[in-house]
Structure 1
Amino acid sequence: MSDRTAPEVPRAALVALTVLAVARAGGLLLIAEGFARLIVDTGTGQPAVGAALAAAGLVVRALAGWGSAFAGRRAAAAAKLAHRGTLARGVVDRDLDAGSVAVVATRGLDALDAYYTSVVPAAIAAIVLPLGITARVLLADPLSALILALTLPLVPVFMVLIGMHSRDRVEAAHDALTRLADHIAELARGLPVLVGLGRDREQAERLAVIQQNHSARTHRVLGTAFLSALALELVATLSVAVVAVVLGLRLLSGDVGLFEALVVLLLAPECFTAVRELGSAHHAAEDGRVALTRVRELLAAPSRVDRRRAAETLTVDRFGVRHPGRRGSAVDDVTFTARRGEIVALTGASGAGKSTVLAALAGTLPADATVTGILTAPRQVAWVPQDPRCAAETVRAELERYAGDADVDGVLGELGLRGVAELPPEVLSPGELRRVAVARALLRVDSGARLLLLDEPTAHLDPVAAGAVRAAIAARAPRVITVLVSHDPATLALADRAVALDATAPESRSVPAPGTLPDAIVRRPASVPPGGVRLALAAVLRPAPWLWVGAVLLGLLATGMGLALTAVSAWLIVRASEQPAVMYLLVAIVGVRFFGIGRAVARYAERLVTHRAAFRAVDDLRLRLWQGMAARGAGSRELLEGGRAVDHLVGTAAEVRDLLPRTVPPVAIGILAAGGVVLTVSLVAPEAAGLVGAGLLLALVLPAGVAFLAGRRAEADRVRASSALLRSFAAVGRAASDLRANGVADATVAELDRRSRSAAAAERRSGTTAEAGMQLAPLLAGATAVAATALLVVGGAPAATVAVVALIVYASGDALAAAVAGGHRIPGLIAALAPLGRLLAPSSRAARGSGRPGRRIEDLVFDEVSVGWSPDTSVATGIAGRVRRGEVLVIEGPSGSGKSTLLTTLLGDLDVRAGRIEVDGVELAELDPAAWRARVVWCPQEAHVFDSTLRGNLLIGRPRDNAADEAELDAVLHRVGLGAMVAALESGIDGRVGPGGRWLSGGERQRLAVARALLSDADVVLLDEPTAHLDGPTADALMGDLRAALSDRIVVLVTHRMQDRRDGDPVVRLGDTSPRVLEAVA
């Protein structure tokens, strides 16, 4: 069982909340005194004193309630800022899962609001209010005070007993929720791979099963928690009913006066309400305590290993690294030195440990690595990792973070990146992203870095772009110590000397002549078809419409029974004071018990139904979002490669799940309850119906207008700020190594802190306006009750009628406050749903034909095809070529010229802008998208490797009903050159690969991704840079094996490596003089 310690509460907040609780108690006493005097003075026709006392009490209670919420929110904001700051520092210092950290830092810590705004105020009120109220009741009627003293302790006793019974299950449910969030986040990050392998539908089915199991478990836990609330409410209701009945009987005998009885009747429920609120708040705040436990668990992870000693020269002496789970060392006994102005190249076969040495020099080795030997190096490092990650929203912002006082525009021009400077990094091609990583390092050197570490700086680059990168490295070499890793001979030629990590010599291949580097193509991020909030709202309500109707009806029934309980109790007390025959009161006495029990049971049922509807709606929404993103496939890089997939599937889905029960039922219940009160008043006191109707309408519309209009922007800003914060944490988590090694972690943490403060400010603005509306509603309802009571008193209405009207109108304030709070949350729900409407709208693929490919696809034809990411811009035009079964179509061209865009179009995830693609003579647009997707498989550049085992990553290559057996898995691993690596693992093929495959080298990750594609039975195989990060001999061997394994299929190969091409291969070469004019070579 985990340790769930309570969050700390500042002393100032405790003092403020205590003072406000005392003020609230004083307000309640004034309200009770005022209404009791108003009812008692019915015969005198002088309501002024009672009205003044009640009005004063209403104002004091409203101000105390608003102040309590304000103080609680300030304390919550301060606590969340502190914990987010700690997490921000932790995520750049440790090997943490980016998705988990992002969810905990945002949605998780947001749950602390309930602790500070509910638990702490309720705990203080549970002490202050019962003491103050019991003291006043003791003065009015000692016997009623004794009943309260005997029954009040039953509430915390039941709270403890039920809490102990349900604690383990609640903790297990929260742990399961954390695992579900982690699982969904991992699926979101790997969605491009699942789409490329055609496994997205299968994973959607698996996700549905996981959600159903989680929902079932959660409903069982919620049932226990709501049963706890039911027990508490029954104890409180029956206790108050006992007090009311005893008072009525004693009024019959004249043992107590009407004024004292009314004061006790009005105050007794408040005694139990304070303690009951503590129990409800305790359950509501469990998520916050769980989040703090999760924060502590994350921060308990060890920091990355940094064994460097500061020095001006670089010394590596008998250096070795061993990773757990491997039988041998990653590197062993490496020794070399370097001085400023020298370029040292680390050479060796893929998997020889070159990147491991660079990671050690950068200070980014995993925390569980065992290091031997000595490292001394300058601390000011510029690092280009093999798998660069960005954390900023645009390329320019990313470079400015690394630049210091260096010239960003100059480096953008030097590497041909001006055209993509304002784009999000996630929409860039791998080649462009590689140049951005190099640009960051160059800016670091220009601003004073002393050690330049380059891991495959020219991977994914065409010859011209690679030449520009080499020229930039050479220009800065005299100022720094440079250590580079590359399989490109031209890049290796920059080195003054080489350090071989094994006996494999660098490959020998031709070096293209230098050319002129074109600027990057100006593009806009891919967009998805427009949708709307109405579509998204319909999508979340459609799965369970009758459950929502049932939730509203049950909530209305509970509210109505509560109002009826108040009315019958008031009538009983007043009529008993007139001392009729006891038989006359028996129906009312039974009614008090009936309505009391009925209210508690109806509220329990309403909570269960509401949450069942919310979970069903969000489970369906998450599946539809998954399907919407998968339907757009690789046609939306921004969705699939950025943090937006995690944001939508985890953060936004949780936001909608929390907002739906707090908006739909409360608003409907509040409106219907107000109408019911007006109808009741029109029946018992028609002369006050107009006043009550106008007053309750004002109590509903004015606070709702204040909350909605004043808080509309604040609530929408809160949702957007929370979403942006989640994406920022996810991006920083993914780029943690880049940030830390390049010395910009502190600046990034400071930026996250600024975003956290912005989110906190939006939360405070939203909470302030919401609480103002919530307190204004019962204030106006109470004022309406005072005015209606005064009207009836002046008009000489019977005391029983006055009591019924006064108390039901006053009691309706709670339902109106909940409706106003729900109305305030509507802008937040709209803001959460707004971006989802676009994903829920049918994609362009849905409008395509219904044809199906033949049994075997024999050829593909490109007929003057133009492709692009946005409808009005073509990245490449005039593509012509043909490839038949058994052939390899090679696509060549400069970085950013549209090679990957062409593959995405061939997948069917982008529409051709002009021309046509034919599959065995049938236009691709006429084929059913699902049928085509089943016949094509895609292995993207930098394919995601799931945080699982080697076996688990391979098995997604085929459907579950046609899974590869042990022999096939072993064969494919040997075919891609991973047999020796698997043999070196203590767990073999069941060895884990780490988050994102970080426990593998870049070459090993690439070969694992290729192995997954080889296991597919698809007729058309799309390979995007399959030999990236591989040394020459390994790349040659891999391509030979690929050609042999795929000899009976159609292969489309994107590559910058000339050796991957063979004589006779059809070639489409994208022209390097203009990004829009292509040369077709067949």
Structure 2
Amino acid sequence: MKPLDPRLVATTRSVRVHLVVAIACGAALTGLILVQARLLAGVISGGPATAALAALALVVSARVVLAYGAETAALRSAARVKSDLRRRLVAHVTGPAADPVTTDAGELATLATRGLDALDDYVARYLPQLVLAVLVPVAVLVVVARADWISALVIACTVPLIPVFMALIGWHTQDRTARQWRLLERLGGHFLDVVEGLPTLAIFRRAKAEAELIRRVTDEHRRATMGTLRVAFLSAFVLELLATIAVALVAVEVGLRLLYGQLGLDTALLVLVLAPEAYLPLREVGARFHASMEGVAAAGRVFAVLDGPGGPAPEPAAPAEPPTGAEIRFHGVGLTYPGRTEPALAGVDLVLRPGTTTLVTGRSGAGKTTLLSLLLRFTEPDAGRITVGEVDLADIPAGDWRRRVAWVPQRPYLLDASVADNIRLGTIGGDVETAARLAGAHDVITALPDGYATRLGERGTRLSAGQRQRIALARAFLRVARTPDAIVLLDEPTAHLDPENAALVRAGVARLLEGRTGLIVAHDGGWSGLADEVVALPWCQESHFAGIGGGS
């Protein structure tokens, strides 16, 4: 493990800024240490006490203030580094090139949370101490050499022993730390899988077996962690012992020469005060290094993930404005999901004309949901292209495009918030009550205990499926009220609803689609009465087809 990971410095601006600040603070602290030693030696040797003590108090206060300011800045730098790495990690694993088959959600969650949190010790404490470990011994050696070359020679011969032993201990603990982190990732990933599959495990009576497996992995991680801590404590003992012996050697030779009159008292005191300062930063580097190894290992795993497949979609060179009132055209669009050999869509040519409603039907697996996913910019086609007027949809920023889309999914997600907040989700302003009336949801909402202020519970547990669908319709009405040229997308809006609720939803959808460009996805042609064009997707998209829905 390198003392300073070059990838962190090369890829994270916060680390580079932090290093500059740490070097400046380290240089200032080094100067204060030398001044403090000179003043302390003068006070002890019987110099002018009053002025020297006042200056000494001032220097000590300056060291305290500087150390506090450096620590505060270092913690802020660590927070920025962690935030930067987390954003890059999330953008990478959620990008279009990411492979969902090889992505372990549990390991990534552990890495992005518990793992990167351990970088605090590395950035905020180890890196500043590394700067001091370079500056302070060199400065002390220069000052001591000018005062007494023999003591400087003893310090110069013994100081390198500490980094040598520190490197030997680091090599020994590197594998232990890597194993500890692998076990933690394995524990996090397995625990998440078990929680997600708990109902299935309970049905097949495998919950106890999985609990035993988690207990075994936890014990392995505990043993690995304790082994790493044992080595870290022993390493601190070794470094302390070396530093103590080295200072003792300096003290003995200074004492003997002082006894025989070969060394002045002022010089002897200066050397004795400065000698421990030469070893202290190196001892602290060793202690901080072992405390930060977990964070360094986690950062290494982050860089390994970032080097793998994935990454955010490339940003367009010149973002285009979504044109209003333009037709949407699919030009030979195809999409194959990662890890699959059969395409979800292939060779689709489709036109959505302004102000008309198109119904897309087909059996499960025909690619209807994929069609909506492409229009919502959740995925990007790997063949062909989609245009809005003369503009390629890929050139329009996804956020700008989605603000033009009113989407009613098959199973709308409702938050544990008030009815009004759920309707207002994703839209700023607007008349919530009018939107609810148009969606046929006003009577349902007023019947709730607190009306529009009623909290719905996570996923809208207080409402039936039909009522949840009407809340989703109200969201869409609010969106189109704020964006008159919005495109309306509906995914099986009446699936799993009883006839009465389905009729209410159909009536609301009819009002929503009046004079607007709309696309309805459904299993059957029951919506054909609302559609201007009907497109039937074949179950298998392996053969190309053209001309559907007015395409050329």
Which category of TM-score, normalised to the shorter sequence, fits these structures? 0.7 to 0.9
Match of 1:622 in 2: none
Matched, 1:60 2:62: yes
Match of 2:271 in 1: 264
CA deviation string 1:69-111 (max 9, x = no partner): 1232333344344445545655765567766665555544433
Match of 2:547 in 1: none
Following the alignment from structure 1 to structure 2, what is the Cα–Cα distance between the partners of residues 389 and 169? 44
* Equivalent residue letter for 1:301: G
Matched, 1:407 2:431: yes
Alignment of structure 1 residues 924-1073 onto 2, 5 Å: none
Over 3 Å counting, the alpha-carbon distance change for 1:74 and 1:394 in structure 2 is: farther
Match of 2:491 in 1: 455
CA deviation string 1:427-481 (max 9, x = no partner): 6368366555444444333333643222222345454544443233211213433
SS of equivalent to 2:406: strand
Match of 1:25 in 2: 30
Over 3 Å counting, the alpha-carbon distance change for 1:151 and 1:196 in structure 2 is: same
Following the alignment from structure 1 to structure 2, what is the Cα–Cα distance between the partners of residues 75 and 25? 22
Conserved? CA contact 1:32–1:54, under 8 Å: no
* Equivalent residue letter for 1:456: E
Q: Structure 1 residues 60-69 or 133-142, which shifts more?
A: 133-142
Match of 1:642 in 2: none
Conserved? CA contact 2:359–2:527, under 8 Å: no
Conserved? CA contact 1:317–1:335, under 8 Å: yes
| Equivalent in 139, 147, 167 of residue 154 of structure 2 | 147
Following the alignment from structure 2 to structure 1, what is the Cα–Cα distance between the partners of residues 299 and 421? 32
SS of equivalent to 2:248: helix
Matched, 1:501 2:537: yes
SS of equivalent to 1:6: helix
Match of 2:327 in 1: 313
SS of equivalent to 1:52: helix
SS of equivalent to 2:505: helix
Matched, 1:428 2:433: no
* Equivalent residue letter for 1:240: V
Conserved? CA contact 1:36–1:50, under 8 Å: no
CA deviation string 1:123-171 (max 9, x = no partner): 2211221122223333443322211111112222233343344434433
Match of 1:238 in 2: 245
Cα distance, 1:121 vs. partner?
1.3
Following the alignment from structure 2 to structure 1, what is the Cα–Cα distance between the partners of residues 52 and 314? 73
Alignment of structure 1 residues 625-704 onto 2, 5 Å: none
CA deviation string 1:1038-1062 (max 9, x = no partner): xxxxxxxxxxxxxxxxxxxxxxxxx
CA deviation string 1:375-432 (max 9, x = no partner): 4457433334456557897665555442144434443554345557645545636836
Match of 1:481 in 2: 517
Over 3 Å counting, the alpha-carbon distance change for 1:143 and 1:452 in structure 2 is: same
* Equivalent residue letter for 2:289: H
Conserved? CA contact 1:304–1:364, under 8 Å: no
Alignment of structure 1 residues 126-205 onto 2, 5 Å: 126-191=133-198, 199-205=206-212
Following the alignment from structure 1 to structure 2, what is the Cα–Cα distance between the partners of residues 268 and 392? 63
Match of 1:640 in 2: none
Conserved? CA contact 1:27–1:59, under 8 Å: no
Match of 1:344 in 2: 358
SS of equivalent to 2:280: helix
Conserved? CA contact 1:110–1:288, under 8 Å: yes
TM-score (norm 1): 0.41
Matched, 1:215 2:222: yes
CA deviation string 1:25-60 (max 9, x = no partner): 34434544455455555xx9x954554344233212
Following the alignment from structure 2 to structure 1, what is the Cα–Cα distance between the partners of residues 232 and 411? 46
Cα distance, 1:204 vs. partner?
2.8
Cα distance, 1:265 vs. partner?
3.0
Match of 2:405 in 1: 381
Match of 1:664 in 2: none
CA deviation string 1:199-247 (max 9, x = no partner): 5444332222221222223333444444444443332222122223333
Question: How large is the Cα RMSD of the aligned pairs?
Answer: 4.2
Following the alignment from structure 2 to structure 1, what is the Cα–Cα distance between the partners of residues 200 and 527? 31
Following the alignment from structure 1 to structure 2, what is the Cα–Cα distance between the partners of residues 306 and 480? 30
Conserved? CA contact 1:33–1:50, under 8 Å: no
SS of equivalent to 2:518: strand
Q: Structure 1 residues 111-120 or 315-324, which shifts more?
A: 315-324
Over 3 Å counting, the alpha-carbon distance change for 1:27 and 1:489 in structure 2 is: same
Conserved? CA contact 1:129–1:271, under 8 Å: yes
Over 3 Å counting, the alpha-carbon distance change for 1:6 and 1:328 in structure 2 is: closer
Conserved? CA contact 1:434–1:459, under 8 Å: no
SS of equivalent to 1:346: strand
SS of equivalent to 1:457: coil
* Equivalent residue letter for 2:136: L
Conserved? CA contact 2:361–2:524, under 8 Å: no
Match of 2:213 in 1: 206
Over 3 Å counting, the alpha-carbon distance change for 1:483 and 1:14 in structure 2 is: same
Q: Structure 1 residues 470-479 or 318-327, which shifts more?
A: 318-327
Match of 1:835 in 2: none
Alignment of structure 1 residues 66-81 onto 2, 5 Å: 66-81=68-83
Alignment of structure 1 residues 222-301 onto 2, 5 Å: 222-296=229-303, 301=310
Conserved? CA contact 1:340–1:478, under 8 Å: no
Cα distance, 1:190 vs. partner?
4.6
Cα distance, 1:301 vs. partner?
1.0
Conserved? CA contact 1:458–1:466, under 8 Å: yes
Cα distance, 1:272 vs. partner?
1.3
CA deviation string 1:771-827 (max 9, x = no partner): xxxxxxxxxxxxxxxxxxxxxxxxxxxxxxxxxxxxxxxxxxxxxxxxxxxxxxxxx
Following the alignment from structure 2 to structure 1, what is the Cα–Cα distance between the partners of residues 505 and 84? 42
* Equivalent residue letter for 2:70: S
* Equivalent residue letter for 1:471: A
| Equivalent in 121, 124, 129 of residue 128 of structure 2 | 121
* Equivalent residue letter for 2:60: L
Alignment of structure 1 residues 846-857 onto 2, 5 Å: none
SS of equivalent to 1:301: coil
Matched, 1:361 2:352: no
CA deviation string 1:886-935 (max 9, x = no partner): xxxxxxxxxxxxxxxxxxxxxxxxxxxxxxxxxxxxxxxxxxxxxxxxxx
SS of equivalent to 2:174: helix
CA deviation string 1:478-498 (max 9, x = no partner): 343322233577656544443
Over 3 Å counting, the alpha-carbon distance change for 1:158 and 1:69 in structure 2 is: same
Over 3 Å counting, the alpha-carbon distance change for 1:124 and 1:327 in structure 2 is: closer
Following the alignment from structure 2 to structure 1, what is the Cα–Cα distance between the partners of residues 241 and 294? 26
* Equivalent residue letter for 2:245: L
Conserved? CA contact 1:395–1:425, under 8 Å: no
Conserved? CA contact 1:76–1:117, under 8 Å: yes
Match of 1:472 in 2: 508
Conserved? CA contact 2:91–2:312, under 8 Å: no
Match of 2:546 in 1: none
SS of equivalent to 1:352: coil
Conserved? CA contact 1:320–1:331, under 8 Å: yes
Following the alignment from structure 1 to structure 2, what is the Cα–Cα distance between the partners of residues 91 and 399? 31
CA deviation string 1:287-343 (max 9, x = no partner): 444454455555551447999x97822334554433455454334454443323333
Alignment of structure 1 residues 570-969 onto 2, 5 Å: none
